[in-house]
């Protein structure tokens, strides 16, 4: 028998599951096929994908910047180096934005 059950593997569910797993046994359940919740990535085709929901996390406070740095050092987070796909702008405007 598990000590806890976490419903949802988005940012909040994953964070609490990570904290609880250090002392307790638990299961994590999510309705999606993968983890991440609204901060996950969806494939368009073989070579293209897009983020939905929480696309950008911008640290504002010193405490949050420190927390993000700790996640990067633990290789939980990394800087995204992918390409942006704009779904609601025509191709001429995209070329101008990316210049």
pTM: 0.47
User: What pLDDT shows up at residue 77?
Assistant: 78
Ramachandran region, residue 75 (left: φ > 0; alpha: ψ -120 to 50; beta: rest): left
Q: What are 49's strand-pairing partners?
A: 43
Q: Is the pLDDT of residue 25 over 70?
A: yes
Model pLDDT for residues 41-81, shown as the tens digit of each residue: 777 777 777 666 665 566 678 888 888 888 889 888 777 67
Q: Which residues contact residue 63 at a Cβ distance below 8 angstroms, ignoring those fewer than 6 apart?
A: none
Sign of CA dihedral 80, 83, 87, 93: positive
User: What pLDDT shows up at residue 17?
Assistant: 92
């Amino acid at each position: 028998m598990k000590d806890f059950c976490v419903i949802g593997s988005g940012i909040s569910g994953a964070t609490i599951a990570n904290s609880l797993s250090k002392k307790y046994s638990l299961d994590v359940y999510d309705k999606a096929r993968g983890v991440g919740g609204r901060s996950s990535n969806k494939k368009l085709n073989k070579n293209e994908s897009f983020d939905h929901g929480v696309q950008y996390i911008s640290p504002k406070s010193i405490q949050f910047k420190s927390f993000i740095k700790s996640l990067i050092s633990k290789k939980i987070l990394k800087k995204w180096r992918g390409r942006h796909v704009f779904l609601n702008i025509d191709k001429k405007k995209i070329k101008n934005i990316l210049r």
